[in-house]
Amino acid sequence: MELGLLPALGGGIRELQSSGQDSRLIDGYLSAYAAAFDRVWYFSYLSESLGDYTDDARLLSSVTLLAPRRSQPRLARALALPLAHRAALRRCGVVRVFQVTGVIPALVARALWGIPYVTTYGFWYARLSRPGPSRPAKRLLERVGLRLAAGVIVPTEALRAHVASLTSPARVYLIPNGVDTARFTPGEGRPGPARKILYVGRLEPEKNLPTLVMAAAKLAARFPLRLTLIGAGSLLPELRAQAEALGVVAEFPGVVDHRRLPERYREADAFVLPSFTEGHPKVLLEAMASGLPCVASDCAGNRALVRDGESGLLFDARSPDALAAALERVLGEVSFALALGRRAREAVAGEYDLGILVAREIQLLKQVAGAGRR
């Protein structure tokens, strides 16, 4: 049985590398797929090879990355991909689409050869896309992609309810995002002279990072603080200037490879995710698995993971004062912070272990492939 993998529209492993997530795909998913299937095919939009990212001989012998021969606009590549790689695609018993935005080649393969596909719906893609002439097309693609999928994987109950209104509820599967709980583990929990507040993610407007910097400034008189914002994005110059103007000691190390993140979490005293909206945030899972007291904005994706006052604290994303108050509590009440971190770790280890969740996904993929082509 052979498996095809489709990234998001225009995507590839190099795109994941730009955010430090390529090793998560390779270690957490490709290795498991390679062990479960006779052959794995990864259909990239980018000029790249698997050897650019790993020297694992087993993976290189069992996973084939197929890249375009020349650079193409992403929509042109999506439409041409099934015919350009038809020999490989026709060998696949099932195609795994990592985001519903990447479903176009799967729709073509289904129409031509009846190959079933399973897609993830991990976020309100069309609803939260930028306004513009392409939004109606995105909504149509989303609806068609979900309706014709043999299976749709969703990470939260809210997303399951939404997808079930667009396709058969029997084809919607709740498999949350996971974390490697053997790799992301608690540190010693000994605060240093400066309290370290950590954020991991994109430096973009929807992440609400100016609010985090303002909250840190409000606490600077009480605690010696160091704010670390890991990631890259368009707000970097603005955030640097804001931190300097407010007297906040801030570090911007850029993108950190996923394999190096566990030590960064273990060095921190608290983790903050102040986003206006989230789907089912992997970085919050990683912080919780690392036993950190987590302070997260009160949005749907964060509420799905954090029980306020038990496994973390939630705050109004619009209020720097609310964030400052929550941080003051976890930084000032050590026993409370340790209890939050301990319960967070217990919750994640019990429900979100990546190995168990990937095994469930593989079981679904084999079930779909075993049902045959339409």
pLDDT given at position 178: 95
Q: What is the pLDDT of residues 113-143, one digit of tens each?
A: 999 999 999 887 656 556 666 778 888 899 9
Q: Is the pTM of this model over 0.75?
A: yes
Q: What is the pLDDT of residues 31-62, one digit of tens each?
A: 999 999 999 999 999 999 999 999 999 999 99
Structure tokens at 128: 């939260």
pLDDT given at position 182: 95
H-type alpha helices, the chain: 13-17, 22-24, 31-36, 57-62, 74-84, 86-89, 104-113, 135-147, 157-164, 209-219, 236-246, 261-267, 282-289, 300-303, 320-332, 334-351, 354-370
Q: Which residues of the chain have pLDDT under 70?
A: 125-133, 189-191
CB 293 within 8 A of CB 340: yes
How far apart, in whole angstroms, are the C-alpha atoms of residue 184 and residue 305? 16
| Domains in the chain: ranges and CATH | 2-178+353-370 (3.40.50.2000), 195-351 (3.40.50.2000)
